[in-house]
Amino acid sequence: MVLIRGSALAVGLLSLTVTMWTGLEERGAALAFGMLVLVGELARWSGGQAREAAPLGAAGALSYALLGQDAGRPSHHGALQAVAVVLAACLLGSVPHIALGRGATLDHLARRILTVFFAAVCFQPLYGKGVFRGWGGPAYALLLLALLVLTALCGAVLAAVPAHCRTRWPFGPLLREELRGLLGIGSAVCATGAVMALAVAVVGLWALPVFSLPLLLTQLSFRRYAAVRDTYRQTIASLARATEVAGYTPAGHARRVAALSRAVGRDLGLTEPELTVLEHAALMHDIGQLSLVDPVPAGATAGLPVAEQRRIALLGGAVVRQTGVSREVAVVVERQADPCREQPLPARIVRAVNAYDEKARDAGPGGPLRALEELRLATAGDYAPEVVESLARVLSRDCLTLPATG
Mean pLDDT of 149-162: 86
Instruction: Say how many CA atoms lie within 13 Å of 382 toward its Cβ.
Output: 15
Q: What is the CATH number of domain 241-397?
A: 1.10.3210.10
pLDDT tens digit string along 339-366?
888 888 999 999 999 888 888 876 666 6
Mean pLDDT of 360-380: 75
What pLDDT is attached to residue 246? 77
Residue 320's pLDDT band (boundaries 50, 70, 90)?
confident
pTM of the model: 0.72
Q: What are 69's strand-pairing partners?
A: 74
pLDDT tens digit string along 12-65?
999 999 999 998 888 999 999 999 999 888 877 654 444 566 788 888 999 999
Chain mean pLDDT for the chain: 82
**Which H helix or E strand runs over 276?**
helix 272-283
What pLDDT is attached to residue 400? 43
- CB-based burial, 71-85: b 16+ in 10 Å, e otherwise: eeeebebbbbbbbbb
Please give the share of the chain, as a percent, with pLDDT higher than 70.
91
**Which H helix or E strand runs over 70?**
strand 69-70
Residue 236's pLDDT band (boundaries 50, 70, 90)?
confident
Q: CA distances (Å), 68 to each of 62, 76, 188, in order?
A: 12, 8, 21
pLDDT tens digit string along 74-133?
888 889 999 999 999 999 988 887 777 765 578 888 889 999 999 999 998 888 777 776
Q: Determine how many CB atoms are found less than 10 A away from the CB of residue 290.
A: 15
List the domain boundaries for the chain: 2-228, 241-397
402 pLDDT exceeds 60?
no
What pLDDT is attached to residue 362? 65
